[in-house]
Each structure stands twice: as C-alpha cells, then as structure tokens.
Chain A
C-alpha cells in the first residue's frame, strides 16, 4: 500500500516509471527523494539510505530512465507549459501541488551573464514534502522569551535534513499557541519564496499552518518580509533558506521592528554558519537568539 503523499508525488512521474516506484514504495522505508537522470539508474533516497529501483543496492543493475521517461516527467511537472515556470526553471526548482519540490539540472541559457532559462534537462530531483506534526516540540520551550515574546530562531543544517518541515510545524504550533508551554497564539506571516513551507496553490496553503497564519507566496524574501511587516502586522515572521545579503538586511530590519523571525539556512555546522558572511553578520548582530541545528541524520540540537 503506497501512502497518500508518495502516491501524489508519483502522479508527476512518467507513467512507465510509476509501477516500479509504487512497488518499491509499498515495500520499503519512508522516502525522502526520487532522482531521475537521463539514461541513468532510477534512485530513491529513503530515511535508511539509497534505494536503486529494480535492484535494491546495485545502481548498475537498476532500472534505467529513458529520454522519454525524463521528458514526460518534465511535461507532467510543468503541466506541459514550460513558459508558466520560466522564473522557477531559471532558478533551478519549482514546487508542485502537494508541497513537493522539484530540482532541475539541464543546460543553462545565459543572457548578460545571468541564467534566464534551462533547456535539455538531464536530471530531476523530486523531494517529498511532508507535514510532521509535533516535530517542533523540542524547540518550542526555548522560544518563550520575556513578556510572552517569541525568540527569533535560526534552523540550520545540510540540504534534505528537515529544516522546512520543522519551520512548518513551528508555524502551525505558534499560530495555534501552546498554553501548556506558556506560548500564546501568535499572528504568523510566512514569506514562502519557494512555495515549500505552505505549498500554496490557488491561494490555499496545502499544509496546515494554523488559524493565525498568512502566506505571501513566491515573493523574494528581501521584498516579501518588508511587505508582510507593513501590511499584515505579524508577531512572528517566517522564511525559508536565507542566503543573500538582501535577505539578511530584511531580517535585521524585522528584528529591529520587534518582530520575531524564524528562518532556516543551509549550513553543515555552527562553524559553517559563521563562515557564511551574511549569516555571520546576522549572528553577530544578535538577530537570532536560538539556534536549532539539524544533522544529516535529522537529529535536532537546540542551543539558546
């Protein structure tokens, strides 16, 4: 029996690959990613490690993806409308209904030194979006600041360790409130540049983010945080994958405005975090009071 989340993801995969994938999903451990490479073996990344479809642990004997498999998967993901995903494809990823994020690798088309499109796709990474209610429980007690204020928190870790899932649950629980932990319900606003936290489609979030949560979808963080701050009067601002100097500036602004910021960032360790200039500046400026580190094994270490 294939779970509903994986079944949803399989509807975006070429029909010829759906059968073998569904068979493996019914038998194996929980999935994190499906990787489709042109002419390459069909790979599933599970919580227990790599799974090669058709062979188990040997990529050489695994089911290999044809040109047609990859092209049809791209058609299904983009709904046969590459033009509708132009910006997303230039950035290298898009999010499909269900909150699954798809990464693309192909041939970059440059204009004035900037990537404006991708063509001739060679690989796809379909990352499964899940809601794990309660995953933020170890972090929540540390978020209670003086006077019922929420402490600004940075969640960091390597790619695929569950940062977005943790942020999602933080949104849900803070928006509802946790009286047992002394956390009052908060007005939460999410700047969801990659449409991954809420996975909104047609103006409706796919994931439950609680009753007091508003989502600005697809907007660059630097602009989105300012818009949310001015227009929705949030008590907590949430954003995913902080990276650039402009993002850092917007977060500093929000922190100065007395709003708690919950953000995530890619970093292998606390030392790596301090080596990234914009994040180092944020940490030095005291923008974050709590650090939540997720390891590659999804183990959570929280430091006030």
Chain B
C-alpha cells in the first residue's frame, strides 16, 4: 500500500513539475503571438484615427471587433470605459484596460510599459501627432515581438525539459 502511495506521489510530482515547465514554455510561445495581434490592432487604430478621424470610443470598439485575445480585451475595455461618458480621460481608460487585459496575456513588463506610454498620449493631440505615437508604439511592439520570438525559440524547450527534470530530481531527493 505504502509503495503504491509512493508511486502515485512520484507521478504527481513529475507531472506537476512538467506541467509548470509547459505553462512557462507556453507563455513564452504565446507572447510573440499576443504582441503581433497588438501591433496589427494598432495599425487599424492608425487608419481609424488618421483616415476616418473616428472618436476613440467608436475607433477602439471597431478595432476590438477585428482582433482576438488580450488585444481584444484591451481595445474593447478602453472603448467601453470611454463610452460611459463618466469623465475618465483616455489615459485612465487605457491604463485600466491594460491592467485588466494583462491577467489573460503573456505580456512582459516591457510590453506593458510600451502600451502605458502610448496611453499617456492617446487622444490628446492632433491627427498627425497621434499617428506618430501609434507608429512609434507599433515599432516598439514589433521589436519586442522579434525579441520574444528569439526568447521563445531559445527558452521554451529549455523550460519544458527543466520542468520534467526538476520533477525527476525532486522525486529522487524525496525517495
């Protein structure tokens, strides 16, 4: 009976550690995808602002409908907050939406900072200036995406193996 418990516990330890490694690896692989969606969504926002001059609540809601994942949560959240007409500034609505979308994202601190920096300028100047801010943020996100891809190629498999090997190591120590 004791042996059976030991075997089950051992399997649980190895599976748990492998799972933790897989989650970390998955997050590393998801980050470039999330950043790519964000960059594409910002490109659409450039069109909404630069060509259509749509006010932010409508522009953000329309962009949200064309994207997915945390990017959709971010644009939909900020657009919805601004539509409430409760006096929130664009910067406040955007940063609250970044915080709320962050929970379901694989964004790093640098990704979040790039988004928050954009929020400070969003809606607060003329069309030409807005386009410059959006293009700058998009470039930053694309650079971060390239870095995230390299990081994922390098580290995702490593985290997966480390998880499994860590579990085995823990099992050996505990036995």
Question: In the assembled complex, how far is the CB of residue A271 from the closest CB belonging to chain B, in whole angstroms?
Answer: 41
* Residue in A11, A86, A117 whose beta carbon sits within 8 Å of that of B85 in the complex: A11
Asked whether any CB of chain B lies closer than 8 Å to the CB of A252, the reply is no
Q: Smallest CB-CB separation from B131: which chain A residue?
A: A83
Question: In the assembled complex, how far is the CB of residue B140 from the closest CB belonging to chain A, in whole angstroms?
Answer: 21
Asked whether any CB of chain B lies closer than 8 Å to the CB of A91, the reply is no
Asked whether any CB of chain B lies closer than 8 Å to the CB of A80, the reply is yes
Contact B126 A79 (CB under 8 A): no
Contact B90 A75 (CB under 8 A): yes
> For chain B, what secondary structure do more than half of its interface residues adopt (helix, strand, loop), or is it mixed?
loop
Per the bound structure, the CA–CA distance linking A14 and B89 in Å amounts to 11
Task: From known contacts A72-B87, A72-B89, infer whether A86 and B82 are also in contact, taking CB-CB under 8 Å.
Answer: no
Q: Chain A residues near B88: list those with CB within 8 A.
A: 75, 80
Q: Which B residues, 25 to 71, have Cβ-Cβ distances below 8 Å to chain A?
A: 49, 53-57, 59
Q: Chain A residues near B122: list those with CB within 8 A.
A: 80
Which range holds the interface residue count of chain B?
20 to 34
Q: Chain A residues near B87: list those with CB within 8 A.
A: 14-15, 72, 75-76
Q: Chain A residues near B89: list those with CB within 8 A.
A: 71-72, 75, 80
Number of interface residues of A (CB under 8 A): 16
Question: In the assembled complex, how far is the CB of residue A4 from the closest CB belonging to chain B, in whole angstroms?
Answer: 16
Question: In the assembled complex, how far is the CB of residue A48 from the closest CB belonging to chain B, in whole angstroms?
Answer: 30
Q: Chain A residues near B55: list those with CB within 8 A.
A: 78-81, 84
With most chain B CB atoms within 10 A of its CB, the pick from A76, A79, A117 is A79
Q: Chain B residues near A71: list those with CB within 8 A.
A: 89
Q: Chain B residues near A84: list those with CB within 8 A.
A: 53-56
Contact A80 B82 (CB under 8 A): yes
Asked whether any CB of chain A lies closer than 8 Å to the CB of B100, the reply is no
Question: In the assembled complex, how far is the CB of residue A16 from the closest CB belonging to chain B, in whole angstroms?
Answer: 8
Question: In the assembled complex, how far is the CB of residue B160 from the closest CB belonging to chain A, in whole angstroms?
Answer: 44
Top 5 A-B residue pairs of the complex, sorted by shortest distance between their CB atoms = A80-B90, A79-B55, A81-B55, A72-B87, A83-B127
B→A interface (CB under 8 Å):
49, 53-57, 59, 82, 85-90, 93, 122-127, 129-130
- In the assembled complex, 20 residue pairs joining A and B whose CB atoms fall closer than 8 Å, in A order, are A15-B87, A72-B87, A75-B90, A76-B87, A78-B123, A79-B57, A80-B89, A80-B122, A81-B54, A81-B55, A81-B59, A82-B123, A82-B126, A83-B49, A83-B125, A83-B127, A83-B130, A84-B55, A86-B53, A86-B126
Known: A75-B87, A80-B57, A82-B126. 6 other contacts (CB 8 A): A76-B87, A79-B82, A83-B125, A84-B54, A84-B55, A86-B53
A→B interface (CB under 8 Å):
11, 14-15, 71-72, 75-76, 78-84, 86, 117
